[in-house]
Amino acid sequence: MQANARPGEQATADFIRHGTPIFRRTNFALFAAGIATFGLLYCIQPLMPEFSKDFNVSAATSALSLSLTTGVLAVAMLFAGAASDAWGRKSVMTVSLLASAVIVLLTAMVPDWHTLLILRTLLGLTLSGLPAVAMTYLSEEMHPDSIGLGMGLYISGNAIGGMGGRLVAGVLADFVGWRIGVAAVGAIGLLAGLVFWRSLPPSRHFTAHPLNLRTLHARFAGAFRDAGLPWLFAEGFLLLGAFVTVYNYIGYRLLAAPYNLSQAVVGLIFSVYLIGTFSSAWMGHLAGRLGRRKVLWTAFALMLAGVLLTLTQPLLLIVLGIVAITFGFFGGHSIASSWVGRRAGAAKAQASSMYLFSYYMGSSLAGAGGGLFYASHGWPGVAGFVGVLVSVGLLIAWRLYWLAPLPGPPSTGVEPPLPEV
């Protein structure tokens, strides 16, 4: 803050705005972190058949290598924000990223299945220090007219990491074995962690708060007293729950008659993730200009249209449906996550943690529940289930459209909130 600023007023240079060198540095660092985080998390997904062969475990047991990580991640993120309140945003994120990369490198050398599961469980704990805290950092440091674009670019890195981790590990596993594939992803994560550490500007609007369980409980409780935050948490649950369910089971439909696609061709569906690198940034920036309440509902409407397209027979229309679902998901997540930070006030870390807890629980619960509908009714059952999730999200977005703006200036001291908050 400039010393000569009048009360209640700060120089715009004190906050990070798009078009400036510090904005580019910040987003380069967080883009690298997003690539690493989701590459480290999802790199083992295409390797599960290899685990079954190498460790002589069933497919269901092999899936624990991912489900244990995401389960621990969802819970640990509730406390990651409090840790960053006490120890600083950048330091917690840096340690989280570097420790996670080291754990993935160690995973490439495990002698047995139980050791692999232990390391994957620890990975959920160490990874938790980045996603929630990154959202908090952006909410504190970005100017209101730039946070939508900043959050969108960070989520773009998530999309590339989620796709790239799968592709790097999967392709290398075919030629040199799964251990080399995992080690390569770990090495990329370690390099990204070093880039993040050197590139991310220190916090300028962070105030340390010592760990206090009573205060922590009060801040979590305060988030649920807000008129908008609980609805945004629900949106996170519905967004990822619907998205993961589609990607979990669409392959079964395309491998079967009348399409009979090969596993390699079906695997190329992951390349659709690249759409997220555009839609998250574009829709986030659009929401910053027009208002989040005016744009969020379009993400759910697009996803619903995509679900309907997957019920048709032509393969091209099914692929277009997957594209629409992916575009809407990444755009909706960008808008909802940035909106959480704007409404959270002093409890930004706890609100971000609660949003991501709901987000990953949506993946866990809805993703598993979709299997019941596939077993009983095939793809129409899955599409119906996802259609209900997306329709509920659309209704909540309509409810948020009429949400009253927050009174007064936000707690960060920046200019009064934009009209859509």
Secondary structure of 289-314 as H, E, C letters: HHCHHHHHHHHHHHHHHHHHHCCCCC
Q: Domain residue spans in the chain? A: 20-204, 215-405
| Other Cβ atoms within 10 Å of 338 Cβ, number | 26
**Second CATH level (architecture) for the domain 215-405:** Up-down Bundle (1.20)
Indicate the angle between helix axes 21-42 and 64-87, nearest 10 degrees: 150
Task: State the alpha helices, DSSP H only, in 259-347.
Answer: 263-267, 274-290, 292-309, 315-343
Provide the residue type at 206 as one letter. Answer: F
Residue 419 DSSP label? T
For the purposes of burial, counting CB atoms within 10 Å of the CB of 158, is it exposed (0-12), middle (13-18) or buried (19 or more)?
buried
- In CATH terms, are 20-204 and 215-405 the same topology? yes
| Other Cβ atoms within 10 Å of 114 Cβ, number | 10
Q: Are 49 and 62 in contact (CB under 8 A)?
A: yes
- Measure the CA–CA gap between 23 and 10, rounded to whole angstroms: 18
Fold classified for 20-204: Growth Hormone; Chain: A; (1.20.1250)
Q: Are 304 and 391 in contact (CB under 8 A)?
A: yes
Cis-peptide, bond into residue 409, ω within 30° of zero? no
The two three-digit tokens of residue 412, written as one number? 């960060």
Provide the residue type at 122 as one letter. Answer: L
pTM over 0.75: no
What does the pLDDT profile of the chain (421 residues) look like in tens digits?
A: 444 444 444 444 577 666 677 777 887 888 888 888 888 988 887 776 678 778 987 655 776 787 788 878 888 877 776 676 666 678 788 888 999 999 999 999 999 999 999 999 999 989 888 876 887 777 777 766 677 777 777 777 777 787 777 778 877 877 788 899 899 999 999 998 898 888 887 766 656 566 666 665 666 666 666 767 888 999 999 999 899 888 777 777 887 788 887 756 766 676 777 787 778 777 877 776 777 778 889 999 999 999 999 999 999 999 999 999 999 998 898 888 878 867 766 666 677 778 888 888 887 778 777 778 887 888 999 899 999 999 999 999 998 887 766 554 443 333 222 223 3
